[in-house]
Structure formats: C-alpha cells, structure tokens
Amino acid sequence: MIPDSIVQTIKDTAKIYDVVSVFVTLKRSGVRYSGLCPFHTEKTGSFTVTPAKNIFKCFGCGASGDPIEFLKQYKKLNFLEALEHLAAIYNISIDKSGSKPKKDFTAPPRPAPPPPPPPSYFPKEKMLGSLKFYERNHFAQFLKERFGSAIASELIGLYFVGTASHWPGANIFWQIDIEGRVRSGKIMLYNPETGGRDRVNGPTWTHKAERMQDFVLSQCFFGEHLLKKRPTAPICIVESEKTAIVAAAYLPENIWLAAGGKDGLNISKFEMLKGRKIVLWPDASLPKDGKTAFQLWSDKAAELQKAGYSVTVSNLIERLATSDERANGYDLADYLLRFDLAAFQAVEVPQAAPPSPVAHEVEAVPISVHRDEGGYPAAWDEPTPPAPSRLQIAATLLASHGWEAGRVQAITDDGDSAWQAARVRAGLLASWTDYKQGIGLNLYINN
C-alpha cells in the first residue's frame, strides 16, 4: 500500500499537460490545449486539456479526469499502477523502506512547461460605450444618493464605472492597467438604496457576457490606471471595488486599488507598485482554515517585503471589528459610510498620533489629511479647472492613455439639498473624534 500522504503528494505534483503531452500532440487554444482523442477515432479534435483545472476531457466520447485517470485509461492500468507510473515520472519515492514498486516503470522525458498564454484585452470602444445610462445603474444611484451628483460623477469618472445590460441595474468595474489597456470588466449588481451587493446575481465578466472565445483573462488591480497620473501618491489596497471607490471619496490623498477579493494579492499584480508605499486593508473576517483575512494579508505582506516591496498592513479594522462585524465581513467602506462626508472632511486630524499596538509587526502610519478647495487633490486639476464639473478628471485620464474619444456621462442633480438634510447623522462625528483620539487612528498613511 502507498501511504495516503504519498498519494496526495503524487496528486498535487502530477500535471495534466506533462502527462498527456507525452502521448498526444496538443495545440494551444486559449487557456486550453486540444488534440485528437486517444480513446476513440476522430478526424476533428474534440479532446481538450485544461492546465488550470488539471483535467482532460473529450467532448466526443466523454472521457475525462485527472492525470491518474488518463494513465488508467490510456495504458490500461489500475489505480495503484497509475500512481507508481506518476511516481516514476516525478521521481517521488513511494516506499519509505526503499523497496522498488511492484512494476518497474521507466519515466518518459518530461516536456518543458508551456509558456503562459499572452493576456487578452477587451475592446476600448466597448468600455467607453458603457460610460453612460447612469439613471439605470444601481451602483451609480447609490453613490448619488450617498454623496450627491457632483461627487458621484467624480468617483465614476475617476474609476470609469460602466453600465451593463446583463442584469437590470448592473454596473461594470473595468480593470484598466497602467498602460490604459482594458483587461476586462467585472459585472456586478448592487442595491441602489443600501449599496449592498446582490448575492444572487453575479459577479461575472464582460468577456464572458460577450461570449468572447479563447479570451485569456490576466487580472490587474482595479484602479491601476490611476498610477500613471499620480506617480508618487501612496497606495492603499482593499478587497472590493466598491470599497476602493468609497474610500477615494473620504481619503483622496491616496490611490485606492482593489484586489477583487482576499485571494487577489497575486505577486504578479504588484510589479507596477515597485518603489511605492503600499498599505493593505483586509476586511474583517472570522478565521477560515485557522486564519483571518488580516492574518492572510499579513503573511502576504511579509512575502512581498522579501521581494523588495514597501508593504504594511493596517490593523485598524482587526482591532475595531465586533464578532458580528467579523461574521458579516465588514470592510473599510462599512465604517466610512457611517459618517457624513462633509462632516468627515471637516474634522481636523492631529499632526501626530500616539503609537498603536503593532500586529504581526505591520501597520499603517498616521498623518494629517489635506484637501484643496475643490474637494480633491490639486494634482487632478487643470491650471484653471472648468467649473462646476469635475469630469475633466476622466477626460484627462483618457488623454493620458491616448484615448481620443469618450467621456463619462454626468449624473444629473435632482434634489441634493433635500438629500443632505435627510442624511445628517447626529452623534457620529463625536464618535469619529473618539476613534482618532482614543486609539491613535492609523487610518491615514504617509506620502
């Protein structure tokens, strides 16, 4: 018998492309490989290998499975024999006593790993065509209800939030890289009143909705296009796109990027952030597999630090979150949205705050906050910004990426004064001051 731990090692090590390509001629087709099925006679290849899932499948005869199953079917082996064959290929010892396997399998030469496929890009004209119809966009309406039409238009223009027809009320969070190339767009649906995410519909991707064949998605950070315009601004990374946009309203001195989830801190995404100061803002969470989101991102920060990145992790939410907030996955936006934006901006933050406890030896550095008279960093303005629209920000970004046309449509104003009166939240401002004075709030980071 082969110990269970060795069986699992073989399963984790064996790669479907390595095994199949020895016996079948494969050609790349997007993220998959295809060829003639070795299990039945055919003239047109219906046999596919998907490295990302480590499986093969024939759409002609229905054969499918992992590397073990392929060897069982192709070489007429039983399960144990297939394991022994794979152990020989990958030089894995399957008997700690040193005895040889029951069969003496000769390991075939391992083929060189295939190069990763080049990323695909979504047509810019389709992205630009989505920057309108905000009266039917639930997320845009939430921003308008929460911040008023002027600031909502600014945020939408800053991040190029699009409108989708995939579901009624859906929006698109476009992933645009530092060179202005559109990687794809995440289609999502929100409640226009609460800003809560629809847990039934979505998310999905624009290239899937458009049925683009063989599209190779290579994600970047949401908001990466902002890096070129502000080369020295500090970077904050959160999990969700909504949180990045909300935080940009409250704390515009920083560039807010979204990883797209707690597992979205792939080191390949950080290449454009070399030399920048980076602070990670994980959500509140209950432990999963023994670790909270804060602990997972702290581990990732340590890995990135070894790779030469200047990365810290804010422990503010980790310290403030209640058990209920952890269970509900509260993030930075949930805390910021408790405060009226104008009142929040009016609070004077101390120039220096007392040190706060360090968790995992990583935390953000507190400093003061400054906004110019326009309500956003002066670096975004033209020498004489045209009043009253802030959509020049979006036009400037378009021009910086060589886009000759396209403009984000403004959100019309139909009663912001009444909204402002209805949104006054007594007592919250005092609570916010208590936060800052009581714990040395490390919500703001240094430039």
Tell me the CATH number at 30.
3.90.580.10
Q: What is the pLDDT at residue 113?
A: 65
**Among 26, 55, 89, where does a domain finish?**
89
**Spatial contact of 256 and 238, defined as CB atoms under 8 Å apart:** yes
> What are the strands of the beta sheet with 182-188, ordered from one edge?
161-163, 171-176, 182-188, 204-205
For residue 317, the cross-strand partners are none
**Pair of tokens at residue 323:** 């058990």
Domain edge (last residue) among 32, 55, 89: 89
CA distances, 35 to each of 27, 42, 62 (Å): 6, 10, 14
Say how far apart CA 65 and CA 55 lie, in whole Å.
5
Contact 249, 256 (CB under 8 A): no
Place of tokens 């912001």: 416
Residue 387 covered by a domain: no
The answer to the question of residue 366 being in a domain is yes
Residue 34 belongs to a domain: yes
Determine contact, residues 148/413, Cβ cutoff 8 Å: yes
Last residue in a domain, options 89, 115, 130: 89
- 340's CB contacts (< 8 A; 6+ apart) are 423, 424, 425, 428, 429
- Rounded Cα distance between 366 and 48, Å, is 53
Helices (H), 23-100: 67-74, 79-89
- Cβ distance 199 to 176 under 8 Å? no
Q: In Å, how far are 75, 200, 353, 370 from 334, measured between CA atoms?
A: 57, 21, 23, 22
Whether the link from the prior residue into 203 is cis, omega within 30° of 0, is yes
In the structure, how many helices (H) and strands (E) does the chain have?
A: 17, 13
Residue 398 has a pLDDT of 54
Contact 177, 271 (CB under 8 A): no
Residue pLDDT tens, the chain, 447 long: 688 888 889 999 999 999 999 899 898 887 889 999 999 988 888 899 999 899 999 998 999 999 999 999 999 999 999 998 898 888 888 764 544 444 455 556 666 666 778 899 999 999 999 998 999 999 999 999 999 998 998 899 999 999 999 999 999 999 999 999 999 999 999 999 999 999 898 799 999 999 998 899 999 999 999 998 888 899 999 999 999 999 999 999 899 999 999 899 999 999 999 999 999 999 999 998 889 999 999 999 999 999 999 999 998 898 889 999 999 999 999 999 999 988 887 765 554 444 443 333 334 333 233 334 434 344 444 443 333 333 444 455 555 555 543 445 656 544 334 333 333 333 333 334 443 333 333 332 222
List, in order, residues 6 or more apart from 265 with CB less than 8 Å away: 237, 259, 280, 297, 300, 304
| Domain contains 75 | yes
pLDDT of residue 347: 67
Treating both helix axes as pointing N-terminal to C-terminal, what angle do 241-250 and 149-159 enclose, rounded to 10 degrees? 130
pTM assigned to the model: 0.63
Domain count, the chain: 2
In a domain, 279, yes or no: yes
Q: Are 357 and 314 in contact (CB under 8 A)?
A: no
pLDDT for res 274: 92
In the prediction, which pLDDT does 416 show? 39
397 belongs to a structural domain? no
Is residue 118 situated within a structural domain? no
Enclosing domain of residue 82: 4-89
Q: What is the pLDDT of residue 345?
A: 77
Residue 185 lies in a domain: no
Q: What is the pLDDT of residue 405?
A: 37
Strands 47-50 and 55-58: antiparallel
H-type helices in 257-407, by residue range?
A: 293-306, 316-320, 323-327, 332-336, 341-346, 392-400
Residue 136 identity (one-letter amino acid): R
**Could you give the CA distance from residue 273 to residue 325 in angstroms, rounded to a whole number?**
31
